[in-house]
Amino acid sequence: MNNLFYLSEDQRAIRSLARDIARERIAPLAARVDETGEYPDEQLKLLGQQGLMGLHIPEEYGGTGAGSLAFCLAAEEVAWACAATSTIFLVQNLGGYPIILAGNAEQKRRYLPRLATGEMTAAFSLSEPGSGSDAAAMLCSAVRKGDRYVVNGSKMWVTNGSHAGVITVFVTTDKAKRARGVTALLVEPGTKGFSVGKHEKKLGIHGSPTVALHFADCEIPVDNRLGEEGEGFRIAMQTLERSRPTIGAQAVGIAQAALDASIGYARERRAFEQPIGAFQGIQFMLADMATAVHASRLVVHHAAGLIDQGATSTALEASMAKCLASDSAMKVTTDAVQIFGGYGYTREFPVERFMRDAKITQIYEGTNQIQRVVIAQHLLGKL
């Protein structure tokens, strides 16, 4: 859609730059990344060199300060080309955002300029084997000893945890306090007692590594703490509130790719002596797919625009955007496979990859059940 009248000249330019890079340099490698699971190193470097890694980072720390909507525009384009690459691109925002939000000047200076250029990548580590949706039930603990925290326990589902130069890790410093006992620490690889564990074998987003992290008497300097002790849960929630629209943008990109492929196929594939696109059964599917993609894009842009305007709380709109866009992407990509018929079920065409990649957008950064919990809480208050 090019008639998004509310986009500024700068936002249009960023979208156009991201689209060119994504279509010319990232899309041709996407099937290989999916097939081999190789880390999309070159693709990420390219995004960094073009300034796209620093869209969300303030100018004083080496970013462009272009904001959340600009980031979502770029994320959609990258996801259109390769969902796995876009996942790591998104985690650059998710992992780095707590530093923007709660970091002191020294922490910002130490990490943000390198994250902005892509010289360093980031990760965000909240979940554990026994706590996903119930994030406050975490067990990985930190005990303060002088100027250090001694961290013990394990984290799970950490996107890019094996490659990141800095990981925002949420630990409990007081389990009895649940959410109010969570503290955020910045962890760098190579720290004694820290190790990367199992690499998950996943349904989709194959080039994006998902790992466990282990801490065994791992000493983290108190200087690496973000905010105060006990402020970690709020930092995590505020970060997710700003990041969830980007998952929506990723879902829109995957869905748009599936729609584009389906339109092409409906024009070319013939049955009963005419293109299958001449049949109303296919036309109605395409019409519904296009409408869902458009509506999803608008709610994503609305949530991101609110963030750029400095709205104090965007949790409701962020959850709506993530939920609607990812549910739509699952439906649109499943319909795309249906339009392709038997061919759609094979690896000769990309739509089965789109369907596999879309699924995760309904799960990560809070399942869509959790998004509905957040939305309902805004409607009803705590009952």
* Residues assigned a catalytic role: 365
Q: Identify which of residues 182 and 285 has a Cβ nearer to ligand COS in the complex.
A: 182
Q: Return the range that interacts with ligand COS (CB under 6 A); candidates 3-11, 248-256, 265-273, 365-373.
A: 365-373
Q: Would you say 239 and 169 are in contact if contact means Cβ atoms under 8 Å apart? A: no
- Over the window 298 to 337, marking each residue x when it contacts ligand COS by CB under 6 A and - when it does not, the resulting string is -----------------x----------------------
* Smallest gap from residue 107 Cβ to ligand COS (A): 20
Q: Would you say 227 and 169 are in contact if contact means Cβ atoms under 8 Å apart? A: no
Query: Does 357 interact with ligand COS (rule: CB under 6 A)?
Result: no
Q: Which residues is 215 bridged to in the sheet?
A: 153, 194
Query: Does 360 interact with ligand COS (rule: CB under 6 A)?
Result: no
Structure-token pair, residue 107: 């922490």
Residue whose C-alpha is closest to residue 241's, from 143, 378, 360: 378
Q: Identify which of residues 31 and 139 has a Cβ nearer to ligand COS in the complex.
A: 139
Which residue pairs from 268-275 have beta carbons closer than 8 angstroms and sit at least 24 positions apart in sequence?
none
Query: Does 240 interact with ligand COS (rule: CB under 6 A)?
Result: yes
* Smallest gap from residue 171 Cβ to ligand COS (A): 14
Of 61, 111, 157, 170, the residue at the interface with ligand COS (CB under 6 A) is: 157
Q: Identify which of residues 219 and 231 has a Cβ nearer to ligand COS in the complex.
A: 231
Query: Does 233 interact with ligand COS (rule: CB under 6 A)?
Result: yes
Q: Would you say 139 and 78 are in contact if contact means Cβ atoms under 8 Å apart? A: no
* DSSP assignment string, 319-340: HHHHHHHHHHHHHHHHHHHHHH
Q: Return the range that interacts with ligand COS (CB under 6 A); candidates 41-49, 62-70, 131-139, 274-282.
A: 131-139
Q: Identify which of residues 7 and 247 has a Cβ nearer to ligand COS in the complex.
A: 247
Q: Return the range that interacts with ligand COS (CB under 6 A); candidates 9-17, 80-88, 193-201, 233-241.
A: 233-241
Q: What is the DSSP letter of 136?
A: G
Q: Would you say 151 and 141 are in contact if contact means Cβ atoms under 8 Å apart? A: yes
Query: Does 167 interact with ligand COS (rule: CB under 6 A)?
Result: no
Instruction: Considering only the C-alpha atoms of the chain, give the largest distance between any 2 of them, rounded to a whole number of Å.
Output: 79
**CA atoms within a 13 Å half-sphere pointing along the CA-CB vector of 38:** 12
Q: Would you say 269 and 276 are in contact if contact means Cβ atoms under 8 Å apart? A: yes
Structure-token pair, residue 144: 């303060």
Summarize as ranges the residues that interact with ligand COS (CB under 6 A). 126-127, 133, 135-136, 157, 179-180, 233-234, 237-238, 240-241, 315, 364-366, 370, 373-374
